[in-house]
Amino acid sequence: MLLVDALREDFVEMDDNSIQKTYLDHNNPDYKRRKLSLFSNMLKEQPKNTILYPCKSEMPTVTAVRVQSTMTGALNSYIELKDNFQSSMVQEDSILFQLNNRGYTRKNATTGNPINEYIVFAGDFIWKDLFFPYFNRSYPHSSFNVNDLDSHDSATLLEFMQEVDAANYTLLLGHLIGIDHAGHSWGANNAQIERKIREIESVIAKIIEKIDDDTVLMVYGDHGMTNGGNHGGQTQEELRTVLFGYSKKGFPIKKASREVQTILDKTTRLLKQLDLPSIATAILDLPIPFSSVGVLNPYFYMQQDLQGLYTRMVKQIRQLISYVETYCGESHDYWCKEKIKHLYKRYEEYSSDPRTLKDSKKHNGGKTKIINSEQMTEVQLAEGIAQMHKFLNHEYESFQQLWISFDDNKILLSLCLILICVIEVAVNFLSAKYIQLVSSRNFALRLSLYIILACSIQLYSTLSLCALGTVAVSYILRLIIRRKGSLDAPITQVRHLLRWTLGPTALPTFFALFCIILSCYNVFADSTMQEFDQVSEMVLLALLFLIWSVQTKKARYRPMVIQSLILITVCMRLAYFYDKEQSMNFSADQPIKKLKEIMQESPVSQYLPLALYLGVEAYILQDLYYNHTTFSRLKRHKLGLFVRATISLILVSLIAYTWSQSPEEAESNSRRNASAKIVYLTSFALLAFELAYKSSKQTILELFTKSALIMMKPIFIVNGQQQTISVLVIIVNLIAIKLFIQHLKYKPNILTYSVLLYYTIQLYFYRTSHRERINSIQFAKAFLGFPQYNYYLHGFLVSLNTFSAHFIGFMLIPYLGNIQKPKTVRQQSVKEPLYHGQILFKYLVFQSVLVFFCSAINSYLQKENLLFPERFAPKTIFDTFFALIHICSTVVFFWPHAASYYKVTGHISYMVSEPSHSHESPSDANKDGPKNEIATYPEISEERSPNEYAQGGGEFYYSETRDQSEDDQSNGVGDLKHR
C-alpha cells in the first residue's frame, strides 16, 4: 500500500472510455501540466490486472486523520484535525491490529511451511506516532519542512524498494509527501508537482516489475489540494483523489462473465477512502475492523468464487450490527432501537446460515426466512452483492448524521458560562472608570474557572463544584466591598448610550450598533459567512461616510479629512487585489482575476512596499518622539530615532534580500533561510530588550507602539513576499483612520470608533489571504528561516501569520486611541485622551466575546453539521480563537494602571490647582502669578484618578521636575517638538 500524499484526481490521466465517472473536470482541468499516465496506460494494456477509480476522501482533509481512516475505516469528526500536529497512538481496531492478532498461522500453499507475517513501514513519521507498536520494521522520516521536496521521498523510496526486493513482508506501507509539499510551497499548477509526478511514476513502474503473482499493489491519495496548494476543507479539489490497484495474476471479478461485470460495475461509482480497510482485510483474509463503516469493493476480492464474496458481504453487515449495538449500548440515542431493527431485517434478507439468525428473530418478532446462497446462480449472487454494497453505502451516509451524540447539558452549561462572561464584560468593563465591580485579577481568575467548568468531564465533580463556588464567592465579596460601584456601573453605561444616541453623531452611533448586530448575524447566515470580507469592506465605507456626512461643511472638506478618506479607500482596494484566497460562492470576472494575478506576481509589489514601510515607520516614530514621548526621554529623542531607523533599514534590507533568493536552488534557499532567521532573532531580541529593560521607563503607548513596529519585520517574513503590500496597508489604513477622526469637528463616540477598528482588523484578516477555513491556513510560510519542525515555534509562527492583522491592530490600540492635537507643555493637561487605549480595547473585547457567544449558540443549533462541516465548524473554531486572542490580551491591557498608558508614573510631577468654578483656561489662570502648589506624586492614586480631579473642578498640568524659566514659557520653548 503506497500512499501518495495530496494525489489529486486531476493529477492522474483518466480515459473517459475506461473510467465511468470522474468528479473533477479532466477536459479543462486547473492543473495543466503533464499528468501521471502510468495508471491509465496499464488499464489499457492489462485491463484484467488493473483497477483505477476516482476515490472520495473525507473531512477533515488533513494527513494524520486520513491515515487513521485508511487503517480503521472509522468516521472522523472535524475536531480531530488537531491530530495532524500532535498525534497519539490509535486505540481503535485497525488492519494492523487484526494482522498482528490473526487467530491462526497461515501456511505456504506450495511447501506447507508456516508464513511469518511482517508489517513494514517507510515514510512520514506521523505513522510512528499512530501505529508504532504494530510495525516489525519501520523507517520514519520527518515531513514538516514543506520546502523540502526531495530528501524525505528519496530516503523513503530507497528503503521501500529494498523491502520490495527482499519480499519479506505481509503488508508493506509507504508514504510519499513530495507532491503535497510542492503544492504548499508553490500551488497546484507548478513545475515542481510535475517533476514529483514523474519521479513517482518511475518508482511505481519499478515496483510493478518486481512484485510477484501473490502481491497486490495499491496506490492511493489521502486527499487532494486547492489550487493554492492547501487542504483541510471540503472543496471537490480537496476531497477527490484516486485508487489504483494492480495484480500480476489478475483480479477474479474482471475475469467473470460479462453479465456479472455489468451488474457489479454499479459498485465502482461509490468508491470512498473509508473502503480501504474492508478491501485490505479481504485481500489478507482478515476480520473487518470493528468500527469500520467502509464497504468492500467487489473488484478487489481476490478469491475465485462469487459465493465467498457474497458471504464476505453478509459478514460486513453483521460487523456493522455489532458496532451499532455496542455504540447504542453506551449512548442510548433515540434512533438506536429502530436502526438496529432495520439492520437485522436487512441482514435476514441476505443471510444463509440459520445459526446466525437467532438474534434477528428477536428483533423481528420471531419471523425469519432462510436463503441458501449455495443454490443461487452467479447472476443472483452478483445482484445480491450489488444490493448489499448499495445498502452498506446508504448506511454509511446515515451514520454521518447519527453516529456521534452530544451532551446537551454540558453544551447548555458552556453557553451559560459564555453568557455570564459577556454580561461581565458589558457591565464591568465598558465604563469610563478602570475598576467598577471587577478588577483585572478577579476577571482573570474567574475566566480560568469558567474554562475549568466548561472542560469538566463530570458536571458535578469536586473540581467543578469548587470552581463554581469560587466564582460565586468572588462575586459576593466584590459586591460587599464595592456596593456603590456595582450599582453605578450599569446605570452609567445606560446614560452613556442614551447620550451617544442624541446629538450630531447619533446616526453613526445607530449604524455602529447595527454593525455589531450584523457581526452576530453573520455566524448564523451561510450567505454572508464566507463573503464577510466583502461585507466588512462595505460596512467600513458606509460607517466612514456617515461619520463624514454629519460634520459641518468646513470640517468635511478639510484637506486632511479628504486625504485620509482617499487613502483608506486606496488601501482597501489594493488589499483586495493582493488577496489570493477565492470565494466559495462566486469567482471574480476574468479581467479582474487576470489583473489580480499580474499585480500579485509583479516584483514591484514585493519590494516597493518595504521601502514605503520605512517611511511609515519614520512617520510613527517621529510622531511618537515629538508628541507623545515621556519627559525623561526627551534629551535623547534624536539619537533614539536615528538608532531605531537604522536598525529598521538593516532588517528591511535583509527582508528584501530574502525575497531575492530562489527557494528552488539548494544554496540560494540556504541563504534565504539564514537571512530570514537573522530577521526573526534580531526582532525577538529587540522586543525582549524593549519589554525587559525599558518597559518601566516609558508609557504603555510608547512600549506597545514600538513593539508593534519591531514585530512588523517578522510579520513581513511570515506572510511571504506576495503579501508584503497587504501587511503594509494594514498599518497605513489604521493610521489613516486615526488622522481622519482627529481632524473632524464632531468626533464619533468610543463605541463607534471601536466598531470602526474592529471591522478594519477583521477586513485585513481576510485581505492577508485568510478565511475562516482550515485550508486557508498558510502552514508553509512558517518554515522560512526554521526549516526543521518544532511544534511550539512553528505553531507560534503559523498563529503570527494567521492573525497578523489582529496583532498589529491590538499593539497599536493605545496609539490609535490617543486622538489629541499636540500641545505645548504649558497647555498640556493631564486629561485622558478622547479614546483611552484601555477603554477602547474593552469595547473590542466585548464585541469579540459577543460574536463568540453567538457562534457558540449556532454550534449548538448546527451540532449535527459540525461533524462533517464545510462552513459552520471552521467558522466556530476561528471565532473561538478570535475571542481567546481578545480575552487573553486583557491581561496585558488591564493589568497596568490606566494612568500608565499615557504617563510614566513615578517620573512625572503634577501641578494640582485648587477647585475652581470659573472657566478660565490654564494659561489665563497663571497670568497673575503662580497660584498652584507643586506636588510630586510617585504614582497616581487609585482612589483619586486624574479624571476624578478634573470632574471635581481641579486641573492637572504636566511639569518637569525642574521649573521652566519665564522666558522659556513666554517664548513657547516649552513646546515638546522644539525641546
Mean pLDDT (whole number) for 199-224: 92
At 920 the pLDDT is 40
Whether pLDDT at 435 is above 60: no
Distance CA 657, CA 105 (A): 63
Q: Residues 648, 709: contact at Cβ < 8 Å?
A: yes
Q: Residues 809, 760: contact at Cβ < 8 Å?
A: yes
Whether pLDDT at 356 is above 60: no
Whether pLDDT at 822 is above 60: no
Q: Supply φ then ψ for residue 243, to 5 degrees.
A: -130, 120
Q: Supply φ then ψ for residue 829, to 5 degrees.
A: -100, 165
Whether pLDDT at 826 is above 50: no
Which has more confidence, 40 or 591? 40
Mean pLDDT (whole number) for 831-839: 67
Q: What DSSP element (H or E) covers 462? A: helix 462-481
Whether pLDDT at 934 is above 50: no
Q: Residues 729, 651: contact at Cβ < 8 Å?
A: no
Which has more confidence, 405 or 62? 62
Query: In sequence order, which residues have a C-beta less than 8 Å from that of residue 856 and are 6 or more positions away?
Result: 414, 415, 418, 876
pLDDT tens digits along 858-876: 877 776 555 545 555 667 7
b/e string for 602-619 if b means 16 or more Cβ within 10 A? eeebbbebbeebeebbee
Distance CA 277, CA 325 (A): 21
CA distances 940 to 440, 485, 841, 935, 949, Å, are 18, 20, 21, 12, 11
Identify residue 515 by its one-letter amino acid code. Answer: C
At 977 the pLDDT is 37
Q: Residues 738, 819: contact at Cβ < 8 Å?
A: yes
Whether pLDDT at 582 is above 80: no
pLDDT tens digits along 644-656: 889 999 999 999 9
Confidence of residue 840 (pLDDT cuts 50, 70, 90): confident
- Maximum separation of any 2 CA atoms in the chain, in Å: 120
CA distances 593 to 4, 174, 215, Å, are 32, 40, 49
Mean pLDDT (whole number) for 4-20: 80
pLDDT tens digits along 449-469: 666 665 655 555 666 667 667
Query: Judging by beta carbons within 10 Å of its beta carbon (0-12, 13-18, 19+), is residue 390 exposed, middle or buried?
Result: middle
At 569 the pLDDT is 93
* DSSP assignment letter at 763: H
Considering the chain, what percentage of its residues have pLDDT values greater than 70?
Answer: 70
Query: Do β-strands 956-959 and 909-912 pair in parallel, antiparallel, or remain unpaired?
Result: antiparallel
b/e string for 693-708 if b means 16 or more Cβ within 10 A? eeeeebbbbbbbbbbb
Distance CA 87, CA 759 (A): 36
At 912 the pLDDT is 34
Mean pLDDT (whole number) for 484-494: 55
Q: What DSSP element (H or E) covers 384? A: helix 378-402
Which has more confidence, 841 or 515? 515
Which has more confidence, 384 or 637? 384
* DSSP assignment letter at 123: E
What SS3 class is residue 959?
strand
Whether pLDDT at 351 is above 70: yes
Mean pLDDT (whole number) for 553-574: 92
Whether pLDDT at 910 is above 50: no
Whether pLDDT at 365 is above 60: no
At 940 the pLDDT is 34
User: Which residues face 176 on adjacent strands?
Assistant: 4
Which has more confidence, 951 or 410? 410
All three cell numbers of 554, joined, read 468646513
All three cell numbers of 712, joined, read 512588523
At 870 the pLDDT is 54
The Cβ-side half-sphere exposure at 825, using a 13 Å CA radius, reads: 29
pLDDT tens digits along 326-342: 888 877 777 788 888 88
Mean pLDDT (whole number) for 547-570: 92
Confidence of residue 761 (pLDDT cuts 50, 70, 90): very high
- Average pLDDT over the chain reads 76
Q: Of 906, 904, 972, which is closest to residue 634 (Cα–Cα)? A: 904
Query: In sequence order, which residues have a C-beta less than 8 Å from that of residue 953 and are 6 or more positions away?
Result: 915, 916, 917
Mean pLDDT (whole number) for 57-65: 84
Whether pLDDT at 197 is above 60: yes
User: Is the sign of the CA dihedral 878, 879, 881, 886 positive or negative?
Assistant: positive
At 63 the pLDDT is 86
CA distances 255 to 217, 248, 269, Å, are 18, 13, 20
At 696 the pLDDT is 66
At 547 the pLDDT is 93
At 490 the pLDDT is 56
Question: Beta-strand (E) ranges in 763-839?
Answer: none
- DSSP letters of 549-603? HTS-HHHHT-HHHHHHHHHHHHHHHHHHHT-----SS----HHHHHHHHHHHH-T
Distance CA 227, CA 184 (A): 10
Distance CA 688, CA 232 (A): 35
At 372 the pLDDT is 58
At 636 the pLDDT is 60
Mean pLDDT (whole number) for 476-505: 62
Long-range contacts of 881-886 (CB under 8 A, 24+ apart): 881/803, 882/806, 882/848, 882/851, 882/852, 883/848, 883/849, 883/851, 883/852, 885/803, 885/806, 885/810, 885/848, 886/844, 886/845, 886/848, 886/849
10-19, 389-398, 422-431, 611-620: least confidently modelled range:
422-431
